[in-house]
Amino acid sequence: MSRRSSDVIRPLAALVCAGLLGGIVAASCGGEEGSTAPPPGAGGGTASGGGASSSTSTGEAGSPGEPCPDGTDKDGDGYGDGCKAGPDCDDDDSSANPAAIEICDGKDNNCEGQIDEGLLTECGNCSEDCKSAELGESDPFPMPETETDVETDGVGLNEKGDLVLDQTNSNFNFLWIANTHDIGDRGTVSKVDAVNVAEVARYFSVTCFGNPAYKLKQCLDVAGNPVQTATNAPSRTAVDYNFDVWVANRAFGGQPSATKIANALEDCVDRNSDGIIQTSTDVNGDGHIDLDCNGDNKVDDGSTLCPNNKPPEFLGMDDECVLFTSNYAKTNEYGRSVCLDRGDPFEGGPGNAWVGTNNRPGNNRFYKLNGSTGQIEGYVDFPAPIGPYGCTVDGDGILWTVGSHSAVMPDWGGRGLCYFDTADTKKVGPVLNEPYGGAHHYYGITLDPKGNIWVGGWGSSNVYRYRPDRTTFETLANGKWTRVRTVEEGKVQETAGIAADTRGWVWVASNTTGYILRVPQEIPDGDQPWATAVGMGGTRLDVHMGSTMRGVGVDFSGHVWGISHDASTAKRIDLDKLGDPVDLGKNVFSTPVGTNPYTYSDFTGYGLRNFTRPQGTYRYLVKGCDSKYTNWLWVEWSGQEPEGTNIRLRARSGEEPKSLGEWFGYWETSPAKLADAPGPLKPMPAKYIQIELELSTEDNEATPILESFKIVRDCSDTPSN
C-alpha cells in the first residue's frame, strides 16, 4: 500500500480521538491501537450516548456496592428491590447495575436502558478490527502522480482540493480511424496512440464471433443474421463512455452494419477460454501494424506462425477485442452515420449507438442499437428527402444530423439539417436549411460547448453554425444561422470534417486543399466573410495534412488531427492552451494507418465527453487485513450535486490487485451498503477492494463536487455470512 493509504486506514478509536468521526464517542482514547473500548477492568468515567451520567464509581465494571441485608439482591452486587443502593436492572447479572461502567459486550451494563451506548464501532459491533479509510476530509484528494493506488479519468481538483469534472485530465489517448479500402476493400479500424503518434492496433470492421452460434462455424451478427465479410467500406467511428468504439459500415451494394470494439483488455472476450486475450498489438514497436508477419502473402490471423515465435500483430477474425457486429437496414441502404447518446437517464452506461441510412428509398432511418448488446431497440424515420451523412447528440439528448448526396435522391436532394429526441423518438423536427441560398451541401457535424451545431459545407468553402432556440422541443426550429465564407467566392475548398474544442475554436478539414482551418466559435450571427473570422483569430494552419483530408479531430491533450484519405495517414499539430500552434516547424507528427481512412466523426470521444454528457471517474484501491478475513461493509461519500449533476459508486473485490472480480453497482446514494442491491459485492471476504466514484453532469456549466469518502471494513477470524 502507498503512504497515503497506510496513513488513512486507522482504527476507529484513533479516528474518534482525531476528531474525524463526529458523533461517535469512545470510552477511551488510550490503549492499544485499534481498540474502541477500554480493556476489561479499566477505570474511568462512563461514556453515554444520551441521558445523564450514571455513577462516579471507580470500581471495576460489575463490582459490588454496599451490602443489602434488608432487600433482594440475588447477584450480590448491592442493588435490588429494597436495597439501600437502589434497584437493579438485571438482578441475575452482577456486571449490570447502576454503578457499572458500560462496556462493549452486548449488555446494558449501567442500567440506562441502552446497550453499548456510545461504544459500538461503525461496523455496529464491538470489533476491535473495525477500521475506516477516509479521503478528502482535511487534505486534497491524492492523484495518480503521487498515489499508486489512485486512477483518474476526466476529473481534477478545485482550489479546495475537492474532486470536480475536468476533461483535460482524461487518460484516454487514442484515435479510432476507419480505413475504407483496407485489405482488398474488406475494411479495418486503426487504433492510434495520440501521445506517441503510432498505430498500436488494427481490427476488421466486422466480426463473426459476436453470436454464440459462431461455435457452429456460422458468421452471424447479434441477432443471428449473416454477417457480410467483404466490401464493408467503413467510414464513421464513435467512441463511447468506456472509450470503446463503434464503426459504421456503409457496405455499398451489401448489408449495412455497425461493430463494437473494446478499448480495454478487461472488456474483451476470452472466446477460447485459454485465460489470455488474443488481440492486435504492435509487437515490434515500430508504430505500424504488420498484416503479414511471415511474408506468405496472406493476411495474418490467430493461427499465423511468425518468425522467432512472436505473435502476429493482426489477428483478423480471431481478434477477441472485436465484440460483435449488428446488421441493420436493407441491402444497399448505406450505413453512413454513427453517434452515441447519453445512455440511460437512470443507469447511465456506455451510451447507445444510433446508426443512420443514407440511401433508403422513400425516407431514411436511424436505428437505435443497445450500447451493451448491439440489439436493435427501435428506429426513427426522417422526413423525405434528407440523407444523413453524420450525426451528433447534444446535452439535451437531441440527435442532430445533416444530409448530403444520396444515389436515390438525385441532384443531392438529401441536403438539410434535421433532429429528433433520443428519449422520445416521436418528436422529430423539420428539415432546416441555412437561408443563404447556396447550391452546395453539408458534410461533417459537431457540437460546441454551448450546444450550437456546426457543419461543413461540401461543394463550397463555407462553414455553418446553427444556434437552436432551446425553450422547448418545438422551438428548436426557431434558431439562428451563421455562414462563414472561408475563402473568396468561387475558390472552393470543400469543407468536410469539423470538430469543436473547449477553448473557443472550431477546426475544419479543407478536403480540397489538405489544410485545417480555425474558426472562432463566437463569430456573430449572419453571413460572415472570412475577414470577420480572421479579425477574431481565425486562421489557416500552414501544415499540409495530406490530399483529400476528410477528417479532423481534437484529442484530450488539446492537439488537432487531420486524417488524409489519399495519403492514408493521421497527422497531429501540437497546440498550446490557447489553441495556437506550437512551433509548426517542429511539432507536427504523422503515422501511417490503413488504406484510405475516411473518418470525420467524433473519433476521439472528445465531443461526447465534453459536450454530450461530461463524465469522469476516481478509482481507489484499498488493502484489508493481513492475517484475518476482511469483510467490506459500506462506502459513504459527501459532496455537492447541483441540479443536473450526479455522483454514484461501484466496487469490485479480490485477493490480488491484478485479479479483481467483476464490478458491482451502481449505488446511486450514500451510503452504499455493499451487501445490498445492486450487490452483494463478491468475492467476500476479500483482501482488496477497489471503488470507483463516477461524476457526471447534463449541464456543461455545472459540475458535481466530491468532498470526501470513507470505506468501512471489519476484520474477523471467520468470514461473514
The CATH number that applies at residue 485 is 2.130.10.10
Q: Answer yes or no: are the C-beta atoms of 263 and 174 closer than 8 Å.
A: yes
Domain co-membership, 505 together with 563: yes
Of 586 and 357, more confident: 357
Assess whether pLDDT exceeds 50 at residue 587: yes
| Segment 347-366 mean pLDDT | 86
Number of C-beta neighbours around residue 701 at 10 A:
9
Domain final position from 553, 571, 604: 604
HEC per residue, 462-473: EEEEEECCCCCC
Domain co-membership, 489 together with 550: yes
Going by C-alpha positions, the residue among 167, 160, 152 that lies closest to residue 136 is: 160
Domain co-membership, 592 together with 673: no
User: Which pLDDT does position 491 carry in this prediction?
Assistant: 60
The gap from C-alpha 392 to its chain's centroid, in whole angstroms, comes to 18
Assess whether pLDDT exceeds 60 at residue 476: yes
Radius of gyration from C-alpha coordinates of the chain:
32
Domain co-membership, 577 together with 621: no
Number of C-beta neighbours around residue 361 at 10 A:
12
Burial class (CB in 10 A: 0-12, 13-18, 19+), 472: exposed
User: Which pLDDT does position 448 carry in this prediction?
Assistant: 94
Assigned C-alpha cell, 266: 478487461
Domain co-membership, 556 together with 470: yes
User: Which pLDDT does position 197 carry in this prediction?
Assistant: 96
Domain co-membership, 635 together with 690: yes
| Segment 559-586 mean pLDDT | 92
Which range marks the domain in which residue 586 is found?
447-604
| Segment 526-534 mean pLDDT | 95
Q: Answer yes or no: are the C-beta atoms of 540 and 555 closer than 8 Å.
A: no
- The Cα–Cα gap between 522 and 536 comes to 9
User: Which pLDDT does position 223 carry in this prediction?
Assistant: 94
User: Which pLDDT does position 23 carry in this prediction?
Assistant: 30
Assess whether pLDDT exceeds 60 at residue 639: yes
Q: Is residue 469 part of a domain?
A: yes
Q: Is residue 173 part of a domain?
A: no
| Segment 451-480 mean pLDDT | 93
| Segment 142-168 mean pLDDT | 90
Q: Is residue 657 part of a domain?
A: yes
- The Cα–Cα gap between 661 and 189 comes to 30
Q: What is the DSSP string of 156-171?
A: EE-TTS-EEE-GGG--
| Segment 86-100 mean pLDDT | 90
Q: Going by C-beta distance under 8 Å and a sequence separation of 6 or more, which residues neighbour residue 3? A: none
Q: Going by C-beta distance under 8 Å and a sequence separation of 6 or more, which residues neighbour residue 512? A: 492, 493, 494, 548
Assess whether pLDDT exceeds 90 at residue 149: yes
Q: Is residue 665 part of a domain?
A: yes
HEC per residue, 318-331: HCCCEEEEEECCCC
Residue listed under C-alpha cell 473494446: 262
- The Cα–Cα gap between 592 and 282 comes to 13
pLDDT digits (tens, 9 = 90+) for 249-286: 999 999 999 999 999 998 999 998 999 999 999 999 99
Q: Answer yes or no: are the C-beta atoms of 707 and 638 closer than 8 Å.
A: yes
User: Which pLDDT does position 438 carry in this prediction?
Assistant: 67
Assigned C-alpha cell, 82: 429494597
Q: Is residue 504 part of a domain?
A: yes
User: Which pLDDT does position 64 carry in this prediction?
Assistant: 63
Domain co-membership, 575 together with 635: no
Query: What confidence category does residue 407 fall into, taking pLDDT thresholds of 50, 70 and 90?
Result: very low
pTM (predicted TM-score): 0.74
Question: Which stretch of 38-52, 71-85, 120-134, 305-319 has the lowest confidence by average pLDDT?
Answer: 38-52
Q: Answer yes or no: are the C-beta atoms of 386 and 362 closer than 8 Å.
A: no
3-state secondary structure of 83: coil
Domain co-membership, 454 together with 599: yes
Edge-to-edge strand ranges of the sheet holding 198-204 = 174-179, 188-193, 198-204
Assigned C-alpha cell, 376: 436493435
Query: What confidence category does residue 414 fall into, taking pLDDT thresholds of 50, 70 and 90?
Result: low
Q: Going by C-beta distance under 8 Å and a sequence separation of 6 or more, which residues neighbour residue 518? A: 505, 506, 507, 508, 537, 538, 539, 540, 541, 579
Domain co-membership, 625 together with 573: no
User: Which pLDDT does position 63 carry in this prediction?
Assistant: 52
Cα Dmax for the chain: 118
Burial class (CB in 10 A: 0-12, 13-18, 19+), 113: exposed
Secondary element (H or E) of residue 530: helix 530-535
pLDDT digits (tens, 9 = 90+) for 660-717: 999 999 999 999 999 999 999 999 999 999 999 999 888 777 899 999 999 998 888 7
pLDDT digits (tens, 9 = 90+) for 303-343: 999 999 999 999 999 999 999 999 999 999 999 999 999 77
- The Cα–Cα gap between 328 and 369 comes to 9
Q: 149: domain CATH number?
A: 2.60.120
User: How many domains does the chain divide into?
Assistant: 2
Assess whether pLDDT exceeds 70 at residue 202: yes
Averaged pLDDT of the chain? 85
Q: Answer yes or no: are the C-beta atoms of 651 and 691 closer than 8 Å.
A: yes
Q: Answer yes or no: are the C-beta atoms of 517 and 530 closer than 8 Å.
A: no
Domain co-membership, 620 together with 564: no
- The Cα–Cα gap between 545 and 384 comes to 36
Question: Which stretch of 183-197, 383-397, 591-605, 620-634 has the lowest confidence by average pLDDT?
Answer: 383-397
Q: Is residue 589 part of a domain?
A: yes
Domain final position from 604, 636, 663: 604
Q: What is the DSSP string of 550-598?
A: EEEEE-TTS-EEEEETTTTEEEEE-B-TTS-BS-TTTSEEEEE-SSSB-
- Partner residues linked to 354 by β-bridges: 339, 368
| Segment 85-98 mean pLDDT | 90
Q: What size, in residues, is the chain?
A: 721
Assess whether pLDDT exceeds 90 at residue 561: yes
Assess whether pLDDT exceeds 70 at residue 115: yes
Q: Is residue 70 part of a domain?
A: no
Residue listed under C-alpha cell 458535481: 704
Assigned C-alpha cell, 398: 437531441
Domain co-membership, 470 together with 574: yes
Domain co-membership, 623 together with 582: no
Domain final position from 604, 631, 649: 604
User: Which pLDDT does position 213 carry in this prediction?
Assistant: 79
Q: Answer yes or no: are the C-beta atoms of 486 and 464 closer than 8 Å.
A: no
Assess whether pLDDT exceeds 50 at residue 39: no
Q: Is residue 685 part of a domain?
A: yes
Q: What is the DSSP letter of 314?
A: -
Assess whether pLDDT exceeds 60 at residue 541: yes
- The Cα–Cα gap between 377 and 647 comes to 28
- Partner residues linked to 510 by β-bridges: 495, 515
| Segment 553-569 mean pLDDT | 94
- The Cα–Cα gap between 594 and 111 comes to 80
